[in-house]
Amino acid sequence: MLEFALFLVVTILLGWPLGRYLAAVMQGKPMRSDFVFGWLEKPLYRLLGTQPEKGMSWKGYAGAFLLSNLLLAAAVWGIFMTQAWLPLNPDNVPNMSWDLALHTMVSFLTNTNQQHYSGQAQLSYLSQMTGIVGLQIITPVMGLAVATATLRGLFGGRKASNETAAHAESGETDVGNYWADVIRATLRCVLPLSLVLSALLTWQGVPATLEAGPVASPVNATAEFDKQKIPLGPVAPMVAIKQLGSNGGGWYGPNSTVALENPTPLSNFLEVVSIALLPVAIAFMIGPFTGRRKFGMMVLGTMLTMSLISTGIALWSEGHSATSADIALMEGKEVRLGADASALWAAATTQVNNGSVNMMLDSAAPLTGMVAMSNMLINSIWGGVGCGLQQFIVYLLLSVFIAGLMTGRTPELFGRKIEGPQVRLLAFLILLQPLVILGFTAFTLAVPGLAANSNPGFHGISQVFYEYTSAFANNGSGFEGLGDASVWWNASCSIVLAAGRYPSLLVPLALAAMLARKRQAPEGSGSLQIESPTFALTLIGIVIILTLLQFMPVLVLGPVADHLSLASGAGTLKDLLQ
């Protein structure tokens, strides 16, 4: 509990000034640091053929976002399938198969970092440094850029908040310049933070080298092998950006459970704070960025309330529930960290679209696993960098619509009416999640041999459901115990990864632009007050109803039944019912 309290205090104290700084960066205001970053940004603008002051419509913004993703996809997929013939491969790692390369590329392109490979054994240094770390730097910034463009749209466009901004093309709402947003956030925020954290982790003992790993002799002379190769590499920079960028994944297959990737209690604390830092900062950014500080505090308060509830349940489940004393649950946990630190990380990594782990989630208490699933299904407790805010805006619009109907008022947000076309798009996003996740889960469990899961009982249902939930939520963590290096898992998860990323980013952007084109009515005493604790509680209730209740059957068949059977010692549903 002490570590949780310290984590919360440090994250908020760091997130508040960082959020104000992010607001200034994304607004493009003159800054004292312009003389440092200006000479880096201007050549990039010339190379891209763009003018940062020239705005875009939402369609132009979305087109630039999709184009950048397409170009990166082709380059990274090619690197993974040809890495054996490329430089920086001292361990002679072979090429990836097409399906594994496809899944890995889509996973990191969508800021998910779901891994069906072991990084230390199946990726060269070049693949790690360019295809992996490169995407880990740029993809979270892409999400942040789209989220800030959505905020501009909700408040009438950039011209409404900045009279010097140019008109967007075609006379439509100016939501900003995509290339300028990405470049400024990358150079002025993400890269400096990553450099600082990388240096701190290197100081704590995380490797940062381009040399091949050493070869050691086993201590036990009766071992079945004479030598063991210890994989090293530029681990610290990758770990820094994987945590800060809501990326997850890991240099090593077991992730931050490995002592080389997470060697000390201080490194563990630095990494878990880094997981939540940027998403919390984005919540603090909303007020100064939009000029609606009460609105920003409502968003922050709502996210913080859900975070406290989620983390509290995880800490209780892992350390104080009926199953917490079961010795079987210690398999896959780091005894040097303990149950509380493991539960805190599990809660933080799924409240944020991070997905890194400092224990194997397959070994967590069943209810801790349910908390992790619930966090990903909600996907906006803090959410990923930018993505969490986009999902929160979806829930916000739905809550305004439902609250308006309940109180007999025309639903409107900031004086702009929410009507049929907007509600249909919102319904599409809400229905997309269960259709994709439950559809793929049911098919995989129904066809013998597809799942290749290690637990055919209640936990086996959780393993498959968790994998697809993690992919759709762009989280990347997994229960493991799956034969997920197959063509089926690679292809199906690639589809789910894309379905969970692109509609959830672009549909809210389109909705914001649609609202911006509507005539704004003055807010009065009859307007719905969304900047209030009452509305925040209403929003939390709607989030629970829309996300958790529709998945209740699979949660009962999976982690709830798993918990009851473990607590009672029963092994089957028949035993449990008796």
Judged against a pLDDT cut of 50, whether residue 303 lies above it is answered with: yes
* pLDDT at position 169 over 60: no
Angle made by CA atoms 365, 370, 373, in degrees to the nearest 5? 130
CA dist 297 and 231 (Å) reads 46
User: Which DSSP string corresponds to 458-471?
Assistant: HHHHHHHHHHHHHH
| CB contact at 8 A, 469 and 373 | yes
Q: What is the pLDDT of residue 119?
A: 66
Q: Which pLDDT score, from 0 to 100, does residue 381 have?
A: 93
Lowest mean pLDDT among 272-276, 460-464, 465-469, 571-575: 571-575
pLDDT band for position 163 (cuts 50, 70, 90): very low
Predicted confidence at residue 180, as pLDDT, reads: 95
Query: What's the average model confidence in pLDDT over 197-206?
Result: 94
Report the distance separating Cα 523 and Cα 525, nearest Å. Answer: 7
pLDDT in tens, 381-397: 999 898 999 999 999 99
Position 96 scores a pLDDT of 94
Would you place residue 199 in the very low, low, confident or very high pLDDT band (cuts 50, 70, 90)?
very high
In angstroms, rounded to a whole number, what is the distance separating the alpha carbons of residues 37 and 58? 27
Look at residue 2 and tell me whether its pLDDT is greater than 70: yes
DSSP string, 302-363: HHHHHHHHHHHHHHHHHHTSTTTT-GGGGTT--TTTHHHHHHHHHHHHHHTT----SS-GGG
Q: Is the pLDDT of residue 574 over 60?
A: no
Distance, in Å, from the CA atom of 306 to the CA atom of 381, rounded to the nearest integer, reads: 6
**Over the stretch 461-485, which tens digit does the pLDDT of each residue have?**
888 999 999 999 999 888 877 888 8
DSSP for 236-250, please give it.
Answer: HHHHHHHHHTT----
What is the CB neighbour count within 10 angstroms for residue 50? 17
Whether 344 shows a pLDDT value over 60: the answer reads yes
Rounded Cα gap, residues 370 and 321, in angstroms:
14
Q: Give yes or no for a contact between 279 and 385, defined as CB atoms under 8 angstroms apart.
A: yes
CA distance 132 to 238: 8
Q: What is the DSSP string of 373-437?
A: HHHHHH--SS-STTHHHHHHHHHHHHHHHHHHHHHTS--EETTEE--HHHHHHHHHHHHHHHHHH
Nearest to 479 by CA among 373, 562, 551: 373
**Whether pLDDT at 250 is above 80:** no
Q: DSSP labels for 173-224?
A: -----HHHHHHHHIIIIIHHHHHHHHHHHHHHT-----SPPPEE--SSTTSS
In angstroms, the CA 567 to CA 458 distance is 13
- At 34-62, the pLDDT tens digits run 888 989 999 999 999 999 989 999 999 99
pLDDT at residue number 120: 67
Residue-level pLDDT at 575: 47
pLDDT (mean) for 155-172: 56
Q: Which of 64-68, 228-232, 266-270, 492-496 shows the lowest per-residue confidence on average (mean pLDDT)?
A: 228-232
Q: Is residue 167 classed as helix, strand or coil in its secondary structure?
A: coil
pLDDT given for residue 325 in this prediction: 65
> Whole-angstrom Cα distance, residue 377 to residue 571?
28
Question: Does position 512 have pLDDT exceeding 60, yes or no?
Answer: yes
pLDDT at 11: 96
Q: Which two structure tokens, joined as six digits, stand for 416?
A: 């702009």
Distance of CA 290 to the CA centre of its chain: 23
Give the pLDDT score at 157.
77
228, containing H or E segment: strand 228-229
Query: From CA 507, how far away is CA 512, in angstroms rounded?
Result: 9
Higher pLDDT, 338 or 131: 131
Mean pLDDT of 194-206: 94
Q: Tell me, what's the pLDDT at 135?
A: 93
Distance CA 441, CA 462 (A): 10
Q: How confident is the model at residue 313 (pLDDT cuts 50, 70, 90)?
A: very high
Q: What whole-number distance in Å separates Cα of residue 327 and Cα of residue 330? A: 6
Q: What is the pLDDT of residue 480?
A: 75
Confidence of residue 577 (pLDDT cuts 50, 70, 90): very low
Examine the pLDDT at 161 and tell me if it is beyond 70: no
Q: Which is nearest to 253 in space by CA: 332, 342, 344, 200?
A: 332
Question: pLDDT tens across 417-453, in order?
Answer: 888 899 999 999 999 999 999 999 999 999 988 988 8
Name which residue leads in pLDDT, 351 or 258: 351
Confidence label for 572 from pLDDT (cuts 50, 70 and 90): very low
Q: Say if residue 146's pLDDT is above 80.
A: yes
pLDDT at 236 over 70: yes
- Using the predicted structure, report yes or no on whether residue 6 has a pLDDT greater than 60: yes
Spatial distance between the Cα atoms of 547 and 528, rounded to a whole number of angstroms: 24
Which amino acid is residue 173, in one-letter code? T
Strand partners, 229: 215
For residue 504, give the nearest of 401, 384, 413 by alpha carbon: 384
The residue ranges of every structural domain in the chain are: 387-568
Percent of the chain with pLDDT over 70: 92
Bigger pLDDT: 573 or 175? 175
Lowest mean pLDDT among 3-17, 127-141, 320-334, 505-519: 320-334
Strand-pair partners of 216: 228
Take residue 76 and report the two structure tokens written for it: 């990274």
pLDDT surpasses 90 at 144: yes
- Mean pLDDT of all residues in 217-242: 80
Buried-state track 514-526, b at ≥16 Cβ within 10 A, e below 16: bbbeeeeeeeeee
* pLDDT band per the 50, 70, 90 thresholds, residue 222: low
Per-residue confidence (pLDDT) for residue 329, from 0 to 100: 65
Contact between 359 and 346 under an 8 Å Cβ cutoff? The reply is yes
Q: What is the mean pLDDT of residues 286-307?
A: 94
Q: Are 51 and 319 in contact (CB under 8 A)?
A: no
**Which of 406 and 70 is assigned the larger pLDDT?**
70
